[in-house]
Structure 1
Amino acid sequence: MYLREGCSLLLKVQKPSIPFVLNTNLNGNFLRDGPNPAEIKETDVVKRLRQESCVPLALQFFKSIANSNIFKHTPLTYHVMIRKLAGDGQIDSVQYLLQQMKLEGFLCSEDLFISVISAYRQVGLAEQALEMFYRIREFGCDPSVKIYNHVLDTLLGENRIQMIYPVYRNMKRDGFEPNVFTYNILLKALCKNNKVDGAQKLLQEMSNKGCSPDAVSYTTVISSMCMLGMVKEARELAARFEPIVSVYNALINGLCKNNEFQEAFGLMREMSEKGVLPNVISYSTLINSLCDSGNIELSLSLLAQMMKRGCEPNVHTLSSLVKGCFVTGKILDALDFWNRLIREGLEPNVVAYNTMIQGFCLYGHMDKALSIITRMEENRHSPNIRTYSSLIAGFAKAGSLEGAASIWNKMLTNGCCPNIVAYTSMVQVLCKHSKFKEALSLIENMSEERWSHAVAAFNALIKGLCEAGRLDWAEKVFREMEQKYRCLPNITTYNEILDGFLRGNRIKEAYDLSREISMRGMEWSLPTYNTLLHGFCSNGVPALALQIAGKMLVDGKSPDGITYNMIILAYCKQGRADIATCTLDRVSYGGGNWRPDVISYTNLIWGLCKSSGIDEAVILLERMMREGVFPNIATWNVIVHCLFDKLGQISPVHGILDEILSQDQLNSDSNQTCEGTDRILQAEQTRHV
């Protein structure tokens, strides 16, 4: 079912090189199908080679002609055949033909040599392309600025930054002045390596040498600055030259990444004021970011404005709206946009298909997701790793091991190497089915080079083991992560094992582990504090919980609702309901973003019932309902338990029972038995954590 990376299904398939032997026997079929052999001309051969779409057949025809006595290849026929082989990435055959040209005394033109360099680039052999370039004069071709630019661009494609500048120096030493294309390649190389300061200096150098930067130059630098979060500096740079739409689009994209939508809309207005019309990229960039943030209404308004101004949406625009509808739960609207995309004749691309698949997987509609991948394949779009990982994650979320395994096997069969998302999702679904050995085996089947990046997969395994109560095994995996697999645990790893220890009432191990986090210099996350608060409260050590709360304040972490609820519960378990009341009041009237919820009030009502009696609890219950927080079954259980514990006080609070009986919550749960206040509260807290 699983394959190690490097096994046959995961290897990149290389095209077999065609044995190139010119002294083969003449195949008459190739000649009989064409013109009369006695009348074969250069134009006939060139036409036949260009019209033949099958490269092996074209090559066989070329060899047959070479072995005949009726035609001798010319520089043009060599050029046509070499370009055809170069376009197909057949480097060995290209080199052989170049050597044949050299032996026959034919010169290699500038354009042909550029085709050869492009062939090397196509198959990812930048270093060999450079070696071929240094032999350029052997083939009767002199270097030129154009050829230098293609060599530099090939090196840039593989980010061979250490080779680019020596070639550039050689170019200047050969007496060639760089043109705007040369400079743009150097700018891309600098920006690709986050050296935007150097890129800005190069822009200035271009101007000083009389080579004015073009739209590509400015867009390259400004896009890179925006990607690095330097939007303000990018805007200052853009203000120095005549505005162009591509630069505005880069700035809009940078602002959208920072969720600065007002500023992005301001740029759109500025474009119109300066006579630069926003294009489909301008609108689509903003619509996509609005959809990502869940602001689907505003993105729809922008779509209407876009169409009103005569700018038609493209597949990227509609894909973004599909994604936005899924994010906000509007599945029918997502389908409407998808159908519109099809209806308007826009061919969905792989990104669009993946958006639909991911959306259906998000809501568990796996049958619909599978129907989309079927349509995708019918339209000759190959699923990629995002397609497969989305489906595996969807089946894992639904708990379907069979479905996840089926997609996993299909992914490997199609030669697509799984990523960490796919591995993690498979580990999750295996753990749901208690197949822990298989989950660990799956992680081990990753290549050793990828173990260090497998922390999410290990976290999923540890979580599954902890939830199943296999704490010793979980702890073993936790320790072996670093020792055996060279994968450093992160704070989420510690949170999972902490939660497992605390659920298993292993207080000392949890406390020691919390100290280990600090000793390793790792910063506690909010879930770390809340996990410890909940665990210590649930295990009857509220004093430790309050110590954790104190550390949280000292560390400058902002509590959330879970934190406050745990602090209130901890004080109540210590019999200090008065301090818990002060805490709730401070949160209620402190002007913060969070307000006490039903758990906060229920915890405090329980504490008051234990320490102060039913009267104060009833007063708090009335306040709770006045503030629009309605009791749930746990709240009423606390009150009922308190009444029965204090039978002598039933008469004064007789009206409470009528209030209880009138509540929908109790009517809907009339058959639920009271299993103990502490257990109910613990269950409620666990659910919210």
Structure 2
Amino acid sequence: MSFCTVFSMKIPIRKRMCFLYQFTSVSTSCAAQVEDSSSDDSSAPERCYSELQQRMQMHAASGSMVKAIAILNLMKYVPGKPTVYDYNSMIYCYFKSGYVKFDELFEVYIAMKKIGPKPNALTFNTLLNGLILVGRLKDGILIAQEMMESGFLPSYNVLSKFFKKFLNLGSVVESLTVLEIMLGLDYIPRKRDMNALIHGLCKVGMIQQAYVVLLALLGKGCFCSAHLYNPILWALCKCKGNKIAVAFLGWLKKKGFICNVYSYTALIYGFSKDGLWDKAFHFLQEMENEGCKPSVITYTILVKFLCDDGNVDDALGLLEKMDEKGCDPDLVTYNIILRELCHQGRTTEIDDLFQVIDRRGLSPDMYTHSALAGGMLKRGKIEIANKLVLDIISRGCSLDAVVYNIYWHSLACDGKSREALSMMQSMRDKGFRPTNITYNTILKGLCNEIKIDEVLQFFDRFDWATGGPDLISINTILSTACKEGNSSMIRRILYRMEYEGIKLDVMSLTSLIQYFCKIGEIPECFKLLDSMTSNGPQPNTMTLNALMSGLCKHRLLGIAGKIFSYFKNIGVFPNTTTYNILMRASIREGNDLLIIKLLKDMYGQKLKPDVDTYGCIIYSFCKEGKILLALQLRDQLFANGITPNIVIYNTILEAMFRRGNFWEIVSLLKMMAMDGCEPNAYSLDIMGRAMRKGWMKGFPRATKVLETVMGGNW
């Protein structure tokens, strides 16, 4: 029963009658004993009282409040008994028993308030300490408030115990209530407890309350160190409150507080995370001007977000600055840069960085190799990724699920998901604990390799880490079923989601839009879109791209343009992929004006063209026979740090074939070899068509070059 409802209760009459019925004979005999002895021995009542007191304490200590109260009632035959101290000792012994029934305990407390004897300071302190002992902390707050209303003050130690207990439990709201009581009594909590409270408030997003606590402590004349206000700065920066954080930092300086490296690092984190590099480097400079030396963590934060933004050259420049400032990078810093270098395929810089790591005496750890393997995997270098992870495993290092997940991901990408599943199950039998990420990685590979009905068989046999598949697992299968156009399987998955109480999210609904586009049910796509905008979840850029792709494949470019504008109006903004989809459709329909308009709009949105964007433009040039312009744009790609892919080269090869210039084809193949771009089946098909036309007879020198370039594969 909740303590807050007890105050309105009365002691049940039935229970009180029960007490009288059970102990009538005991009461009568004890009373008779007192009367018979009164004429002979004046100490008889005291002896009887002492005996009853011992019996009452014994019953309370054994956890029987009913029997203890019955004995307490017998004391009424002794003049002036029972006293409040008898009640206090009973409550104390009852808590010590460890078998506390709180309904009975609170009835005693209510009876004391209404009938007497009135609770005194010791009663309240006994209750408070007992409630701490048994973990009834919320009830303890109410008792503390009642204690103050009765004119008594809880001790500092008792309130400190409540405060610390709530903090350990992460109950910051209740901690605030206790703090309010303490500050009202001019009790100042210990510094480490205040630090824990402000950290806890910031962790759960109660930043304003943390600031109020800081102000309250300042109002009490407390000295507030950086440990109190730095968590507020960090919380603001993490939730995109950078402007407020800057204002707060200025307020701290005006108050005379000294901001340390952790304070400035918070602001650098906030602005770096949002890609506001001018602001981030401004505070790095201000930090140094204030005589505050940036730490490895400060620089690593900048390096991390620069790499996330693709600015690995700036990150490498920061490494040089760290050397100049005498701040040695640690392995974490190098691992972050290595991963991004792998993503960009910059092998020369990777080798150079490994030499630097070796010169500094740092030993690459599993995270270094994981960064390399993960980066290579993202670049599509599956064999290299496999080799790197196998090298880590062969060393017998203590590995976590992340490394194995990378390896199983590489197997899945290589069409070996069954092998990955078998290895994972074998390791699980030996004590390895796979995560849901592990299962979802293998599940995605299985979806790409085998039929969807077989995937469901594997799906049901998985021993899921968290008790069952998550929404990512369901969406993986649903997405595959939608891509295959398997309507019966889609119905089965949707039924399962409904049965297990899993709600469709934006990813699920986007997959269904792809399915309806695939089977040509465009009106159903619009119904789903209307439902999402009306009832949620709100569509996102992936939804937009799925719908754009479907409409363009059905030659509905005009409708796609209207939907494109509609999404922008509801706050869903396109990305580079969206523009690429519309540009390809515009090229197919020969709408050059729309291509130019899309490019202008794309730059207006501050989006960077990617290799597919350039591929669209090169395709447009080649379609019109403007091969020279296509080659110039290919050179522009390198200038912008983008490596042309095989699709771009095949587009230009096809245009050269149509023009009938065999020597141009050979020259382009030579360029491909220099760029490290291997010809695929389509490239070889173009060469085969050239041979069948007999062009090679007139170009013996070109034929020899071709043999060298292609290694005889053609």
TM more than 0.5 = yes
Q: How does 1:651-670 map to 2 (within 5 A)?
A: none
Residue of structure 2 equivalent to 1:170? 251
Asked if 1 retains the 8 angstrom alpha-carbon contact of 2:141 and 2:178, the reply is no
Please say if 1:244 is aligned against 2:244.
no
Residue of structure 2 equivalent to 1:153? 234
CA distance in 1, matches of 2:459, 2:160: 42
CA distance in 2, matches of 1:256, 1:474: 38
CA distance in 1, matches of 2:10, 2:176: 23
Post-superposition offset of 1:477: 4.4
Residue of structure 1 equivalent to 2:138? 59
Structure 1 residues 368 and 554 mapped into 2: Cα distance closer, same or farther (>3 Å)? same
The partner residue of 2:400 within 310, 314, 322 is 314
Residue of structure 2 equivalent to 1:34? 95
The partner residue of 2:558 within 450, 475, 478 is 475
The partner residue of 2:582 within 494, 500, 522 is 494
Asked if 1 retains the 8 angstrom alpha-carbon contact of 2:583 and 2:598, the reply is no
Query: Structure 1 stretches of 5 or more lacking a match?
Result: 1-17, 503-509, 535-544, 570-579, 609-615, 629-689
Residue of structure 2 equivalent to 1:418? 505
Matched AA of 1:177: I
Matched AA of 1:326: A
Q: TM-score, normalised by structure 2?
A: 0.64
Post-superposition offset of 1:424: 3.1
Please say if 1:188 is aligned against 2:269.
yes
SS in 1 for 2:532: coil
| Percent identity of equivalent pairs | 17
Structure 1 residues 464 and 305 mapped into 2: Cα distance closer, same or farther (>3 Å)? closer
Residue of structure 1 equivalent to 2:304? 223
Please say if 1:358 is aligned against 2:437.
no
Residues 309-332 of structure 1 deviation map (CA, whole Å, 9 limit, x = unaligned) = 663222111111111111222334
Asked if 2 retains the 8 angstrom alpha-carbon contact of 1:196 and 1:224, the reply is no
Asked if 2 retains the 8 angstrom alpha-carbon contact of 1:388 and 1:408, the reply is no
Post-superposition offset of 1:151: 2.0
Asked if 2 retains the 8 angstrom alpha-carbon contact of 1:283 and 1:306, the reply is yes
Matched AA of 1:298: I
Post-superposition offset of 1:417: 7.2
Structure 1 residues 82 and 378 mapped into 2: Cα distance closer, same or farther (>3 Å)? farther
CA distance in 2, matches of 1:407, 1:375: 16
CA distance in 2, matches of 1:156, 1:119: 16
The partner residue of 1:515 within 581, 593, 596 is 593
Post-superposition offset of 1:256: 2.5
SS in 2 for 1:239: helix
CA distance in 1, matches of 2:134, 2:454: 43
Post-superposition offset of 1:259: 2.2
SS in 1 for 2:95: coil
Residue of structure 2 equivalent to 1:560? 649
Asked if 2 retains the 8 angstrom alpha-carbon contact of 1:411 and 1:418, the reply is no
CA distance in 2, matches of 1:556, 1:271: 35
Matched AA of 2:546: A
Larger Cα-atom Rg: 2
Residues 355-376 of structure 1 deviation map (CA, whole Å, 9 limit, x = unaligned) = 2232223324546755776677
Structure 1 residues 297 and 465 mapped into 2: Cα distance closer, same or farther (>3 Å)? closer
Asked if 2 retains the 8 angstrom alpha-carbon contact of 1:384 and 1:416, the reply is no
Structure 1 residues 341 and 533 mapped into 2: Cα distance closer, same or farther (>3 Å)? farther
Relative contact order (alpha carbons < 8 A, sep ≥ 6): 1 or 2 greater?
A: 1
Please say if 1:100 is aligned against 2:202.
no
Post-superposition offset of 1:161: 1.1
The partner residue of 2:216 within 135, 150, 166 is 135
Post-superposition offset of 1:149: 1.7
Asked if 2 retains the 8 angstrom alpha-carbon contact of 1:533 and 1:548, the reply is yes
Structure 1 residues 94 and 451 mapped into 2: Cα distance closer, same or farther (>3 Å)? closer
Residues 4-46 of structure 1 deviation map (CA, whole Å, 9 limit, x = unaligned) = xxxxxxxxxxxxxx99789566999999973268998979956
Asked if 2 retains the 8 angstrom alpha-carbon contact of 1:156 and 1:189, the reply is yes
Post-superposition offset of 1:155: 1.8
CA distance in 1, matches of 2:632, 2:363: 53
Residue of structure 2 equivalent to 1:302? 388
Asked if 1 retains the 8 angstrom alpha-carbon contact of 2:435 and 2:465, the reply is no
SS in 1 for 2:439: helix
Q: How does 1:12-23 map to 2 (within 5 A)?
A: none
Post-superposition offset of 1:67: 5.4
Structure 1 residues 477 and 355 mapped into 2: Cα distance closer, same or farther (>3 Å)? same
CA distance in 1, matches of 2:352, 2:430: 31
Asked if 1 retains the 8 angstrom alpha-carbon contact of 2:166 and 2:174, the reply is yes
Query: Structure 2 stretches of 5 or more lacking a match?
Result: 12-64, 67-90, 98-104, 106-118, 601-608, 636-643, 673-678, 708-714
Structure 1 residues 282 and 453 mapped into 2: Cα distance closer, same or farther (>3 Å)? same
Asked if 2 retains the 8 angstrom alpha-carbon contact of 1:292 and 1:327, the reply is no
Asked if 2 retains the 8 angstrom alpha-carbon contact of 1:325 and 1:333, the reply is yes
Post-superposition offset of 1:482: 1.2
Residues 420-468 of structure 1 deviation map (CA, whole Å, 9 limit, x = unaligned) = x54432211123344322222222233489999755534534544565x
Asked if 2 retains the 8 angstrom alpha-carbon contact of 1:314 and 1:346, the reply is no
CA distance in 1, matches of 2:166, 2:317: 47
Residue of structure 2 equivalent to 1:144? 225
Matched AA of 2:403: T
Residue of structure 2 equivalent to 1:396? 482
Please say if 1:588 is aligned against 2:666.
yes
Q: Which is helix-richer, 1 or 2?
A: 2
Please say if 1:123 is aligned against 2:212.
no
Post-superposition offset of 1:283: 2.2
Post-superposition offset of 1:304: 5.2
Post-superposition offset of 1:347: 2.8
CA distance in 1, matches of 2:614, 2:307: 30
CA distance in 2, matches of 1:327, 1:287: 13
CA distance in 1, matches of 2:235, 2:582: 45
CA distance in 2, matches of 1:376, 1:410: 16
The partner residue of 1:292 within 354, 367, 378 is 378
CA distance in 2, matches of 1:618, 1:204: 64
RMSD, aligned α-carbons: 5.0
Post-superposition offset of 1:233: 0.1
Structure 1 residues 217 and 463 mapped into 2: Cα distance closer, same or farther (>3 Å)? closer
Asked if 1 retains the 8 angstrom alpha-carbon contact of 2:453 and 2:489, the reply is no
Residues 178-200 of structure 1 deviation map (CA, whole Å, 9 limit, x = unaligned) = 33433433442343344556656
Q: TM-score, normalised by structure 1?
A: 0.66
